[in-house]
């Protein structure tokens, strides 16, 4: 490996508090393998996080309707009150990658959602 690349990698390790290069390399490889699972539409796990104004009852009902329509994908959800207006909804989903992504896009794209993101993960069985 080039000296310059190795120096940058060591800086990366220090910033992220990795104990060894081997652990960091393993994590990078696993991240690539998880990405591959999502590209091939295999069974995956994802976490969908949404921020929205809970005073908008029509929005809350739309989000719940979407979740009920896709209930077979949803393992768990948690509702957190961030302040007197904003809520955080955390939804854990498991299923074919395309369906989990579609669910995330439906929820994130609902009018009134202030922020939404999908954390792509694996089921852990193949790693």
What is the CATH classification number for the domain harbouring 48?
3.30.70.1150
- Asked if residue 49 and residue 108 are part of one domain, the reply reads yes
| 127 occurs within a structural domain | no
CA distance 15 to 19: 11
CA dist., res. 15 & res. 76, Å (int): 33
Q: How many helices and strands (H and E) does the chain possess?
A: 4, 4
What confidence score (pLDDT) does residue 63 get? 96
Q: Within 13 Å, how many C-alpha atoms sit on residue 52's CB side? A: 25
Compute the distance between CA of residue 28 and CA of residue 21 in angstroms, rounded to an integer.
11
Is 9 in the same domain as 47? Answer: no
pLDDT at 35: 87
Q: How many domains does the chain have?
A: 2
Range of the domain at 60: 43-121
Query: What is the Cα Rg of the chain in Å?
Result: 18
The whole-angstrom separation of Cα 113 and Cα 91 is 14
At residue 52, the pLDDT reads: 97
- Give a yes or no: residue 108 inside a domain: yes
The pLDDT, as a whole number, for residue 127 is 64
Give pLDDT < 50 ranges for the chain: none
Q: 105 and 57, same structural domain?
A: yes
With b meaning 16 or more CB within 10 Å and e meaning fewer, what string describes 74-89? beeeeeeeeeeeebeb
């Amino acid at each position: 490996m080039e000296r310059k690349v190795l120096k940058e990698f060591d800086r990366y390790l220090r910033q992220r508090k990795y104990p060894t290069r081997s652990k960091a390399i393993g994590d990078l490889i696993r991240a690539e393998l998880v990405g591959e699972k999502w590209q091939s539409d295999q069974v995956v796990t994802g976490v969908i996080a949404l921020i929205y104004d809970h005073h908008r009852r029509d929005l809350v009902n739309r989000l719940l309707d979407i979740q009920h329509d896709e209930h077979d994908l949803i393992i768990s959800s948690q509702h957190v009150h961030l302040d007197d207006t904003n809520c955080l909804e955390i939804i854990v989903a498991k299923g074919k990658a395309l369906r989990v992504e579609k669910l995330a896009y439906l929820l994130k794209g609902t009018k009134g959602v202030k922020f939404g993101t999908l954390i792509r993960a694996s089921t852990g069985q193949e790693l």
